Amino acid sequence: MLLEKLTGFVKVKYIAVLAAVAAVAILGYLWLAPSGQQRQEKIARQQLEEGVNAYKQRDTYKALSALQKAMELTKDGLNDTIYFEAAVYNALLYLNAGLLKEARQRMKPLKYIEVKNSFASLFYLRAVAIQTAELDGNYDMASKYMEQAMDLSRRMFPDNKRMEYVDKANVCELNYMKGDKQKAWQGVREIEHTNLKLEPYHDMCFSEVYYVHGALLYDEAKYDSAYHYAEKGYTCAKNIGQHANELLTLQLKCRIDSVRNDLKAYQTHRNAIDQLNMELKPAEILAQEALIKEQAKIDQLKQDNDRKQVANSLLIVLLVVLAVFFVFVVYTIRKDARNKQRLAELEKERLDLEINRKKLENELLKFKQQDTEMKLDRANKDNAHMNVILSNQEDGRREGETLGSLENNLRLKYPDFMEHMKAVYPQLTENDIRVLGFMRMGYSSKVIASALNITMNSLTTTRYRLKKKLNLTSTDDLKTFIIAEKKE
């Protein structure tokens, strides 16, 4: 007895130790896992800020490096907002270089997020509008995106009117691209005559406005003024490194040179376009090289994440092993498991008996329903038999009626019937009309034959001839026809 108590005490103490170890491991995991994610999120936030600052300073490759790191750290759902902001600025680097397809490729997987106190959402809508207009040629949809951008700018930055004028410049260019020159002129005049100081967005805004102004003047054959505004737009675009707008203004200059037959100026501007295109191609190559250089660092981050995941996996395995061991010890200590199993078997037997009892009740109920149905069928047959007997008695009574009484009944119920039939069907004899009228009254064949003092065969022949006279087919029902002929 003493030995059993001592053994039970040792087992309980052993289980308590194991439970304590498992609890410590679980608490350690719950403490370490969030802190690791928080550190990773903090690094991603720092990389995003560094990339945005480099973008503002036009340091393309530093911006690309930092933004790629931020995207890599948050791509698995750690922080969707940081990933969205980094991906938008990353796409803008390609968009500003005139690489629209590459920018779209990087923005296509993104799901739009409205990020408060950030320009990322506004830049996303602008970029989508530009890509929709220039790559798809869908200017109506592009205008809708730009209207969303302007609405977002008013809501999110109500005190920053300068940003709104940048959107107005984009809308102005879209109106020109889709051929709405009147709205394009209105936008140009509004922006050029504003008293608001647009710094630091002056060049960004006017690089587009001056280009549109020059293009509108070119369409009106005012080539000198068009060249003047094209030159101003080119200067603004060059100041901020907007290669796409540089190309547009240079192409406008080439068109003006062509109209003027100024071959020298045309060649100069054509060479400038070729040179700019040559600069844009290396820009993409250098961007790829920058990605490759940063890949090593990104791989290092991946390895760190993998190590953390392995450590977490080992911890989970340890917790599972401890749990299994704990269950095994509990199972060996508790001897009443068999009793529970036996109780479960007895409960199952009871449920089986209950199910069988319900089955028997259902069968009994079904038998009662069948017996009731048989009684109802028998009663219906008896009623049908009685109806036949009553009908035969009624027919016998009616057979005694004279032709005169039947005609009186017909004239009382349908007073105009015989005159109507004579007028509509003059080919019918008076006897034919009587037969039709008696049929309409619902008299049986026996009653009609008796009243007319003819046999049943003669009545059948009369009906056949009536169908012929009335142009009815053999399948048409004479009674149905005469009922439908004239409803009193």
CA gap 461, 74 in Å, rounded: 98
CA gap 458, 478 in Å, rounded: 16
Provide the pLDDT for residue 31: 54
Evaluate if residue 399 carries a pLDDT over 50. Answer: no
Evaluate if residue 284 carries a pLDDT over 60. Answer: no
Mean pLDDT over the full length of the chain: 80
Provide the pLDDT for residue 407: 87
**Is 451:401 a contact under the CB 8 Å cutoff?**
yes
How far from the centroid of its chain's Cα atoms is residue 460's Cα?
71
Evaluate if residue 369 carries a pLDDT over 70. Answer: yes
Provide the pLDDT for residue 293: 52
Provide the pLDDT for residue 296: 45
Provide the pLDDT for residue 178: 83
Q: What is the pLDDT of residues 44-76, one digit of tens each?
A: 899 999 998 988 887 877 888 899 899 988 888
**Is 435:462 a contact under the CB 8 Å cutoff?**
yes
- Which residues, at least 6 apart from 275, have a Cβ–Cβ distance to it below 8 Å? none
CA gap 370, 355 in Å, rounded: 23
Question: Two tokens at 178?
Answer: 């889709």
Provide the pLDDT for residue 321: 83
Q: What is the pLDDT of residues 172-208, one digit of tens each?
A: 888 888 888 898 898 888 888 887 676 677 777 888 8
Provide the pLDDT for residue 396: 44
When mean pLDDT is compared across 23-32, 53-62, 209-218, the lowest value belongs to 23-32
Evaluate if residue 322 carries a pLDDT over 50. Answer: yes
Average pLDDT of the segment spanning 437-454: 89
When mean pLDDT is compared across 60-74, 321-335, 397-411, 423-437, the lowest value belongs to 397-411
Provide the pLDDT for residue 228: 92
Evaluate if residue 389 carries a pLDDT over 50. Answer: no
Q: How confident is the model at residue 291 (pLDDT cuts 50, 70, 90)?
A: low
Provide the pLDDT for residue 59: 81
Evaluate if residue 42 carries a pLDDT over 70. Answer: yes
Give this prediction's pTM. 0.50
Residue 242: exposed, middle, or buried by beta-carbon count in 10 A (0-12, 13-18, 19+)? buried
- Which residues, at least 6 apart from 216, have a Cβ–Cβ distance to it below 8 Å? 176, 181, 184, 185, 188, 226
Q: What is the pLDDT of residues 194-204, one digit of tens each?
A: 876 766 777 77
Provide the pLDDT for residue 47: 92
When mean pLDDT is compared across 19-28, 365-374, 454-463, the lowest value belongs to 19-28
**Is 70:86 a contact under the CB 8 Å cutoff?**
yes
Provide the pLDDT for residue 181: 86
CA gap 338, 159 in Å, rounded: 77
Average pLDDT of the segment spanning 90-117: 84
CA gap 227, 234 in Å, rounded: 10
Evaluate if residue 7 carries a pLDDT over 70. Answer: no
**Is 184:218 a contact under the CB 8 Å cutoff?**
no
Evaluate if residue 463 carries a pLDDT over 80. Answer: yes
Q: How confident is the model at residue 30 (pLDDT cuts 50, 70, 90)?
A: low
Evaluate if residue 420 carries a pLDDT over 80. Answer: yes
Provide the pLDDT for residue 8: 56
Evaluate if residue 358 carries a pLDDT over 60. Answer: yes
Average pLDDT of the segment spanning 127-134: 85
Q: How confident is the model at residue 487 (pLDDT cuts 50, 70, 90)?
A: low
Evaluate if residue 104 carries a pLDDT over 80. Answer: yes
Provide the pLDDT for residue 283: 55
**Percent above pLDDT 90 for the chain:** 7
Highest mean pLDDT among 67-71, 340-344, 474-478: 67-71
Q: How confident is the model at residue 216 (pLDDT cuts 50, 70, 90)?
A: very high
